A and B are shown apart, each in its own frame.
Chain A
């Protein structure tokens, strides 16, 4: 069944894609008309999409001129990672506490499968895209377990923001192996029902990610 998305939703996806893939120039101001013409739609849905993107923190609307993509400062990276620790830490803790429920058992199995895939990817070449996908699935599995839609939406936004900085450093061989180790620690704590350890290993993982991002910015 095909779901017809509104023009505003299409504009939102289109713009988000450009932003997250760094295809817009940070120093340039882009007008509503520019995107409306590119997409072949009217300005109103473009404006509404822009309002949403501004609320989500991706862009700044400059009255009468257009939009500018927001630059992410080092302090903002830190804040984003702190938010992720708070939310994902909570989710991992919650998953650990519920590891023996029916849903919990399903989650533990899923997480084990994802980590097995991750391990197999380490021995292959040119697997960046797959690794990224798998990493996203791993993190989202823990978040979705909580059933909290606000948290899920929040994390999707936060991850998008981070990916704008560029994730090249994450896909070097030794970093991927390290990521895998950190993921294993998280999974192990969740499976054992060790709530505090689950939280701390999330913190450890995301803190080490922040270190990588810092070196990348410079």
Chain B
């Protein structure tokens, strides 16, 4: 039993990674048997992994055929961005509200370090992938401020989904610089302990994803 659960988790982690990294094709029907053979395990743990991924809305099951990558609609993207706005807005405001505390000082220092690193990437013409990594770190730092594991899980989930829509958000020209400027605004608001400005800055920043995603 224990071994089977581990095999299921192995299959799950493998499939999820493939999905998030954009390695599965949108129009193709995949079979449990195919992955079972590839991973050298039986079909049962693969089926359970696929069921979990279907429940989590990463894939859709085609009865008697297999499964496919889930089709994301504009509404889905809207929802993911709203959820991020809700969570990051909350955490950002929480940070602003606790201005003056040691924890707040640490966050501001961390965020300012990330800003410097982002500036460096822009100035030396670094890749959008590099910037995306820093962007992730930046947002993760804000969400982590709440110490709320549920929020962290959902943040990661939403981020994965936006990533696996194959969004190379920052490969559209000029967007990295805009994102950087928006990050500056967010940090400034948190530094000033201004909750309203923090929320507005985060909301405006995340809203930009929608614009960019629309273009794809």
Show the binding face of A for B, using Cβ within 8 Å.
48, 51-52, 55, 63-64, 79-80, 82-83, 85-87, 89-91, 146-151, 154, 196, 199
Contact = CB atoms under 8 A, between A and B. Distances in A.
8 contacts: A55-B56, A64-B1, A64-B2, A79-B148, A86-B86, A89-B86, A149-B79, A150-B79
Interface in B187-212: 196, 199
B52 to A, nearest CB: 7
Given A64-B1, A150-B79, 12 more contacts: A48-B51, A51-B48, A52-B55, A55-B55, A82-B151, A83-B150, A86-B90, A86-B151, A90-B90, A146-B82, A148-B79, A151-B83
A148 B79 CA distance: 6
B169 interface: no
A83 B151 contact: yes
Contacts, number: 62
A90 B148 contact: no
A79 B150 contact: yes
B45 interface: no
A48 B196 CA distance: 44
B181 to A, nearest CB: 24
A146 B199 CA distance: 18
Contacts of A51: 48, 51-52, 55
From A63, A64, A82, name the one whose CB has the most chain B CB atoms within 10 angstroms.
A82
A83 B149 CA distance: 10
From B2, B89, B150, B196, name the one whose CB has the most chain A CB atoms within 10 angstroms.
B150
Given A51-B51, A64-B1, A149-B79, A90 B89 contact: yes
A89 B52 contact: no
Nearest to A83: B150
Given A63-B1, A86-B151, A196 B90 contact: no
B82 A63 contact: no
A87 B51 CA distance: 27
